[in-house]
Amino acid sequence: MKIDKKTKIAVLCGGKSSEREISLRSGKNCFNALESLGYNSILVDIKTIEDLLDLKHKNIEVAFLVTHGKFGEDGTIQGILEWLQIPYTGSSVLGSALSMDKWLTKQIAQNNKIDTPNSYLLTRNNKNTSYIKDAWEELSKKSKAVFLKPRDEGSSVNTFKIKSLSELEEKISKIDLTVSDYLIEEYISGREITVSILEVEKQFKVLPILELKPKADFYDYHAKYTKGMTEFILPANLDKDSEVKIGNISKTIFSLIGCSSFGRVDYIVDEKNIPYLLEVNSLPGMTDTSDLPAQAACAEIKYNEVVEMVLKTARLHNISKDSYVTQTF
């Protein structure tokens, strides 16, 4: 759609997920950027479905999404906006739902010969001593550790590095599997890197790859959103062949899942230089400490320019017309 300075834009943030505070910070930054560029925008803290329905009464023409986590990044808000016929930034309902689901993302990756750490899916139906022991014995063979993480949370919320079977059993006993399934995932020692993607004229542009060196044991919530807790190596110390390979894998998985607009793909690169896909983020953070803005700056793209580029991708989604969704790179 044609978007100009008269188009009425709502920056949607907040929500009710565990990532609410990060979303509010992202939203404020994006709103300030649009204002400074002269766009007709408002900032909306989404707390209830009525806040979404009210967008129609306010004659909102475009929704700029920085809603992280459940309900904001998993296709829920996207589905309501489709129903309201309000074009929005970020991925489609399907792309958002699939990328939020770490287990399904892994299945898609494995089916397309993309390396990803091995894992077991933990549900309330298979939460038993035998299953947990089998998972530990299989997944901890190499590194004597595993990760325990929610199937559908972002920002490493409720993610734990586990170093013994007894610790794994204890952690599992305290989680509520009626709220979310969990993944017990193989721990792979290596360098943490992330690839940010911007859609430009229906083509995916890979920004300079970022290597992350957290001061914590891994890149957890605190390390992600606290200044000084993570060292950024930008661009990452990768040879050209690895850089191209990881960029192509990122565009491929982004496309296979059906993502668009902008996003981020996270990896662990092991000692043999093999990248293992961890997850895909369809609405990455846009805070002062977030990865994508830093990577854009490395490519000499200013924050305000990134926001405007994302804004220009706003649309209602029709899978049959979005040919790039199924395109491989």
Catalytic residue among 74, 279, 282, 291: 279
Catalytic residue among 19, 153, 181, 186: 19
Alpha helices (H) in 101-193, listed in sequence order: 102-111, 129-139, 165-173
Amino acid symbol at 54: D
Q: Is 45 known to be catalytic?
A: no
pLDDT per residue as tens, the chain (329 positions): 789 999 999 999 998 888 899 999 999 999 999 999 999 999 999 999 999 999 999 999 999 999 998 899 999 999 999 999 999 999 999 999 999 999 999 999 999 999 999 999 999 999 999 999 999 999 999 889 999 999 987 656 678 999 999 999 999 999 989 888 999 999 999 999 999 999 998 899 999 999 998 776 655 555 555 666 778 999 999 999 999 999 999 999 999 999 999 999 999 999 999 999 999 999 999 998 899 999 999 999 999 999 999 999 999 996 444 444 333 32
Catalytic residue among 96, 250, 281, 282: 281
How big is the chain by its Cα radius of gyration, in Å? Answer: 19
CB contact burial 87-110 (16+ within 10 A = b; e otherwise):
bbbbbbbbbbbbbbbbbebbebbe
Q: Is 25 known to be catalytic?
A: no
**Both tokens of residue 20?**
């609410």
For CA atoms 293, 48, 226, 284, give the dihedral sign. negative
Catalytic residue among 73, 74, 192, 266: 266
Architecture of domain 98-114+189-326: 2-Layer Sandwich (3.30)
Catalytic residue among 225, 267, 276, 303: 225
pLDDT in the model for residue 37: 98
pLDDT in the model for residue 289: 87
Question: What class has domain 8-90?
Answer: alpha beta
- Each domain of the chain, given as residue ranges in start order, spans 8-90, 98-114+189-326, 119-186
Q: Is 279 known to be catalytic?
A: yes
Catalytic residue among 285, 290, 291, 303: 285
Q: What angle do CA 96, 99, 101 make, to 5 degrees?
A: 110
Q: Is 19 known to be catalytic?
A: yes
**DSSP states of 302-313 as a string?**
-HHHHHHHHHTT
119-186 carries CATH number 3.40.50.720: no
Catalytic residue among 20, 25, 191, 264: 264
Q: Is 266 known to be catalytic?
A: yes
pLDDT in the model for residue 159: 86
Q: Is 264 known to be catalytic?
A: yes
Q: Is 39 known to be catalytic?
A: no
Give 30-94 as a 3 state SS string: HHHHHHHCCCEEEEEEECCHHHHHHHHHCCCCEEEECCCCCCCCCCHHHHHHHHHCCCECCCCHH
Q: Is 219 known to be catalytic?
A: no
